[in-house]
């Protein structure tokens, strides 16, 4: 379902990457530590339903100030976020005081300024989110009453009417006047993504497993099974967390069906220490019947994965992922976010990920494949 991808990213973030405890691999109930891990898992599950409420305990701070203070090199919001519902409520409801064309890229978007001066990106009918991604929430916007009165001339010039529907085509690589995004009447469903604070400039990197996008020309990783060995000899993948971030991202992209991760961003001048930030996930949740296994190439070619990621994925099998996704997205303004076929597809893809890691451990041993999160990392 290409309608609602960005909220799904946030939901899967909450489901997969919000745990900070390491769950025991063998899942033995006789272990006191494992029983505590199970209790922590159930607490996490109970906290997935983030209600969008206007109340904010920090009365001396705006929701935008609180969100800006959350950002650190390895996450854009913390695990414990009692203010999350209030901040997402503000994103979904605060008055739009300015609207302009979005930043450069291939997909249609608009840059909005909300009351209080917060920048957000509005994407028509495309949704997703992550603790390694900016906060995202669904929003219904009236193009005639909320956008056009505060739009810049550049954005306003792209508005048109098709039948009884208000439409715009904006400015982007693939934006065409002949293919505008149209509201249902005047009301458009989309997502708003919180702009990261300016004090955290971003640096763009070419993804080592990116595709060529040229017919008849394969990328090296598509024909060289030893390609990961070459990646491990280049910075920033020769040490530090970046290669493991790439593999986490491959797992995530496979679950959502995103085969378009040709570039990624990190915080600038981080020497490979900060997280891989997920900003472009618009090619997700297309055909639920299509399983693009090549998305997992970083995983099955490198055959390493974080222990915490492996255990989180194990805890999500047997229908838990589907249930958790429904809970995490239940209170979004544009719910329901995913159809049953897409939820079922995510469940099946999860089993494929687990089977891939099992093949790696059978071949190389668990001690080699499963990497402790805090151990000194050298991939050479």
Q: Which residues are annotated as a binding site for Mn(2+)?
A: 280
Spatial distance between the Cα atoms of 363 and 303, rounded to a whole number of angstroms: 9
Helix (H), strand (E), coil (C) string for 172-232: CCCCCCCCCEECECCEEEEEEEECCCCCCCEEEEECCCCCCCECCECCHHHCCCCHHHHHC
- Helices then strands, each counted (H, E), the chain: 12, 12
Torsion sign across C-alpha atoms 332, 333, 339, 340: positive
Q: In which residue are the tokens 């769950």 written? A: 23
Do the beta carbons of residue 244 and residue 251 sit within 8 Å? Answer: no
Pair of tokens at residue 237:
């993948």
Contact status, residue 11 vs residue 290, Cβ threshold 8 Å? no
User: Is 224 tagged catalytic?
Assistant: no
- Cβ density class 14-41: b for 16+ within 10 Å, e for less: bbbbbbeebbbeeeeeeeeebeebbeeb
Cite the annotated binding site by residue number.
107, 123, 193-196, 265, 280
Mapped onto helix, strand or coil, the DSSP state of residue 124 is strand
The region, left, alpha or beta by phi > 0 then psi within -120 to 50, assigned to residue 285 is left
Catalytic entry in 100, 248, 260, 332: 260
Q: Which residues contact 1 (CB under 8 A, 6 or more apart)?
A: 285, 288, 338, 339, 342
Which parts are annotated binding residues for ATP? 107, 123, 193-196, 265, 280
Query: How would you write 1-16 as a 3-class SS string?
Result: CCCCHHHHHHHHHHHH
Instruction: Give the DSSP letter of residue 23.
Output: P
> CA-CA distance, 299 to 294, in Å (whole number)?
10
Q: Which residues are catalytic?
A: 260
């Amino acid at each position: 379902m290409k309608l609602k991808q960005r909220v799904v990213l946030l939901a899967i973030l909450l489901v997969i990457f919000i745990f900070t405890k390491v769950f025991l691999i063998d899942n033995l109930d006789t272990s006191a530590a494992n029983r505590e891990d199970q209790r922590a898992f159930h607490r996490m599950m109970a906290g997935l339903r983030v209600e969008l409420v206007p109340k904010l305990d920090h009365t001396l701070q705006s929701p935008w100030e609180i969100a800006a203070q959350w950002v650190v090199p390895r996450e854009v919001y913390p695990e414990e976020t009692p203010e999350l519902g209030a901040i997402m409520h503000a994103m979904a409801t605060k008055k739009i005081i300015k609207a302009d064309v979005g930043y450069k890229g291939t997909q249609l978007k608009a840059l909005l300024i909300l009351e209080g001066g917060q920048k957000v990106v509005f994407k028509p009918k495309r949704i997703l989110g992550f603790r390694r991604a900016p906060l995202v929430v669904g929003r219904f916007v009236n193009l005639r009453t909320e956008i056009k009165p505060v739009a810049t001339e550049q954005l306003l010039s792209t508005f048109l009417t098709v039948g009884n529907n208000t439409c715009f085509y904006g400015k982007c690589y693939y934006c065409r006047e002949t293919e505008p995004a149209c509201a249902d009447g005047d009301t458009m469903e989309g997502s708003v993504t919180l702009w990261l604070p300016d004090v955290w400039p971003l640096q763009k990197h070419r993804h080592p497993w990116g595709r060529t996008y040229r017919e008849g020309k394969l990328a090296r990783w598509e024909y060289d099974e030893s390609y990961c060995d070459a990646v491990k000899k280049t910075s920033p993948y020769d040490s530090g967390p970046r290669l493991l971030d790439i593999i986490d991202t491959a797992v995530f992209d496979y679950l959502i069906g995103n085969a378009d991760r040709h570039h990624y961003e990190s915080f600038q001048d981080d020497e490979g220490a900060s997280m891989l930030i997920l900003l472009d996930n618009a090619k997700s949740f297309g055909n639920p019947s299509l399983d693009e296994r090549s998305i997992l190439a970083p995983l099955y070619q490198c055959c390493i994965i974080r222990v915490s990621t492996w255990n989180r994925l194990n805890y999500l099998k047997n229908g838990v992922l589907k249930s958790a996704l429904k809970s995490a997205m239940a209170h979004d303004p544009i719910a329901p976010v995913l159809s049953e076929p897409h939820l079922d597809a995510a469940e099946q893809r999860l089993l494929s990920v687990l089977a891939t890691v099992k093949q790696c451990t059978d071949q190389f041993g668990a001690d080699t494949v499963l990497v402790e999160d805090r151990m000194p990392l050298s991939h050479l």
